[in-house]
Each structure stands twice: as structure tokens, then as C-alpha cells.
Structure 1
Amino acid sequence: MTVLVLDPRWPDMIPIGVRIRGTVAFTSEVPVSVRWAIENTADGESWLLTTDPSDAEAAARIAGGEEVIEVASLSDPVLAATRTMRVARRRGEWESSMTHESLLPFLEEEAGEFAEAVRRGDGAELKKELSDLFLQVLFHSEIAAGFDFPDVAQAFVDKMRSRAPYLFDGSTGVVGIEEQDRLWAEGKARERG
């Protein structure tokens, strides 16, 4: 018996190396489109497909020692970071009390510490300070009511598509600074409307 834990963001992305043969059950949140794509067969083992390992049936099977396969995307450190921030905001009294405004002194402090690490040229310290800035981005994204971290990431991609179109047009080679400056200014002007 095997429990296959799918990524709730992309539940239809089943690892190519996994051969699902046998009786297949699904926890209730698994989309119908996934259910239709999986064939039940008489031969093979029993499978449970879920996007929620805390689901009662999934948790019972996992606790019972069934083999667990998680899709690789669940090991994504960005996903782990966003989940950690979401849980911290929900469970931590201090985190849940924070606002964009109350976090500003921390953001300013972390930006200053990052600048100091750059000036010192200390790679390990630079990584640590970047993680502190990343915490601030995650925190503000979690506080915001109208968007979340994936929306911030998409806004970055959209900005780069507008201001640095050569990154997306399939071209190769170095783009000169003058051309970059021109394209950046044009993109910024278009965004302002």
C-alpha cells in the first residue's frame, strides 16, 4: 500500500517514475480531473492519492506504516518558506500583531545589515542577511489582504517582461548597458500609462 502526496498547487502533476497500478482511492480534496486520469486496475497494490497528508485517512495510513511518496515540488524551499511564514503568522502572537507599518523598522534594520555585509564582502553573512530580507518580503506578502507571495513573484516577472524584454524573446548574447537603460525607461513609462 502506498500514499502518494500530490502538490495542491499542481495536483495533476504526477511523477513520471511512479507507476500507479491497482486499486486507487482519493481523499476528498483531490480534483475530479485527477481522479478521471487514474485508472483502477485489479492487479497491483492499493494506492491513496492526497494533497493533504493531515487528512484523517491519509494520516491513518501514514501512521500505519504505508509507504509514502511525495512529489518533488513539495520539497521546494520557496514553498517551505511561504508555508512557514503562513503558520508563523497564524500561530505566533507577535507575528499576528504585526502590520506593514510596525514592520518598517525591522525592514530598515535588515536592509542596513545587508548593506554592511556587502561592504565586508562576507559571502556567508550576505546569505544570512538576504534571508532576513526574504523574511520581510514573505512577512509583508502574508500580511497583505489583496495579494500573496506568488502574486509578488508574478509582479516581478511582469516588470522584467516590460523593462527587459530581451530576457523573454528567445534572443541570446549580451545586451549593452545603453540598450538596457533605454528599454528599462520605456517599460517604466509604459507602466505609468
Structure 2
Amino acid sequence: MTVLLLDDRWPSLIPLEAHGRLGGPVEFTEEVPVRVRWNFQDLVAAQGPGVLVSTNEADPRVRSRVRAGEPLIVAESRREPVHQAVRAMTRACSMGEWEAAQTHRSLLPYLAEEAQEFADQVVAWEQDGDERALLGELGDVLLQVLFHAEIAARRGAFDFQAVAESFVDKLRSRSPYLFDGSTGVVPAQEQERLWAKGKARERQIPPGR
């Protein structure tokens, strides 16, 4: 049986390498959306060893078949570093007793510490040019963002993707030239004007809208 591991963000996107290689009965792990299941039979040949479709590499059936050496096709987007970082944080909070016990407030000292260490490294980098050290400290700051987003996701508030979307929405509001096809350099004075205008407009939007 071939294991097809899809990206849970875009489960409808089937890897090109899967086409022509899938045949036989199709099974799905429980989290695969119904909309994906409806059309899947059209992609699978009648004859073949069967297909197990999943978005969860930790599912017992997936792990068992992969350990047994059965063919595995993985959506390329799952190998994206940001996706791997988010999934690693999710697993850390599921498997680590310390991580599971943390709250936004309990993590504040770590956020302050990592931010200060990055600031210190910037000063050091100006002298020694150590890019690897700078990268490492910035990764530690990212860890804090991932951690807080995962805590929020576990209470059903928002996740890391929503954090990124919030960032993009803010830029659309305050720096519209990044999205409207503008070209050339935007003067700093115009940037400041647009930023202030967008910020003022955001304050007029009721919370939750």
C-alpha cells in the first residue's frame, strides 16, 4: 500500500509524482477533509496495492506502514522549513510536559531574554560579522513567536498562520504600495504618512471585525 502524505494546509493539492502511481482501494486517516475524499477516487486506478491518504505523519497507521517500508509520497510543501517549525512546536507542546504547562505569561521572561540576546548579538555582529550567531539568535526569537501562537491555537483563538495573516493585513493597510503594483522607491515621508493613515483607519474598525 502506498502512503500519500498531504499538507494539512492545502490537502487538495496532490503531488505530481503521485499521478499514475496510485491504484487499488483508498483509505483515509480520520482528519482528511471530506472535500478531499469526494474526488479522490477519480485519481486512483482500479488496480493496485491500495493507498492510505493522510495529513498526519504521527498517525499510527501511517507510521506502521512507513516503518514497514511501504512506498511513501510526501507533498513537497510539507518540507518547507516554516511548516516544519510549526509542526515541531505543536508536537513539543503535545509531548513535552514542560511545554504543555507554559502560558503566555510564564513565557514572558524567555521572550524578553531572547529579544535582549538578539539585540546583544546585533551589537557583536557589527564588530565581528558573525552571521551564523546572528541567525541563531533570531531563530530563538522565532521560537517564542511559534510558542505563543501554539498556546493560542490550543485554546482555539488563532495559530501561526493567523499571526502571519495579521502581519500581511497590517502591511496592506499601512504600506499599500507593497501590494498595488507600485514601482520605484517610496520616500520616507510618504511611508510615514501612509503608515499613520492606515493606523488611524484601523483604530476606527470595531474589535473582531
TM score, norm. by length of structure 1: 0.88
Q: Note if 1:42 corresponds to 2:38.
A: no
1:48 CA drift (Å): 2.6
* Structure 1 residues 156-176: Cα deviation after superposition (integer angstroms, max 9, x where no partner): 011111011111112222211
Give runs of ≥4 in structure 1 deviating > 4 Å: none
Alpha carbons of 1:36 and 1:110: their partners in 2 closer, same or farther (altered >3 Å)?
A: same
Where does the alignment leave 5 or more consecutive residues of structure 1 unmatched?
Answer: none
Matches within 5 A, 1:136-175: 136-144=144-152, 145=155, 146-175=157-186
> Which residue of the partner structure matches residue 80 of structure 1?
84
Q: Between the two proteins, what is the percent identity of the paired residues?
A: 53
Instruction: Tell me which residue corresponds to 2:105.
Output: 101
CA RMSD of aligned residues (A): 2.0
| Mapped partners of 1:72, 1:104: distance in 2 | 35
What's the TM-score, normalizing by structure 2?
0.82
CA contact (8 A) 1:27 1:57 kept: no
Residue 191 (structure 1) shift: 1.0
12-21 vs 76-85, greater mean Cα deviation:
12-21
Q: Structure 1 CA distance, aligned partners of 2:168 and 2:124? A: 30
How big is each residue's C-alpha offset from its partner over 1:142-165, in whole Å with a ceiling of 9 and x where there is no partner? Answer: 223322211111110111110111
Q: Is the 8 A contact 2:29 2:52 kept in 1?
A: no
Give 1:24 shift.
4.3
Moved more, 109-118 or 14-23: 14-23
1:62 aligns with 2:63: no
CA distance in 1, matches of 2:116, 2:29: 48
Question: Structure 2: which amino acid aligns with 1:11?
Answer: P
1:13 aligns with 2:30: no
Give the distance between the partners of 1:171 and 1:160, measured in 2 at CA.
14
What letter matches 1:15 in structure 2? P
> How many residue pairs get matched?
193
Say whether 1:128 aligns with 2:136: yes
Identify unmatched segments of 5+ residues in structure 2.
205-209
The one-letter amino acid of 1:134's match is L
Deviates more, 1:38-47 or 1:60-69: 38-47
Give a deviation string over 1:19-38, Cα, whole Å, max 9, x none.
14532402143333323333
| C-alpha distance in 2 between matches for 1:159 and 1:89 | 29
* Pair 1:83–1:58, CA change in 2 (3 A): closer
Q: Which moved more, 1:164-173 or 1:87-96?
A: 87-96
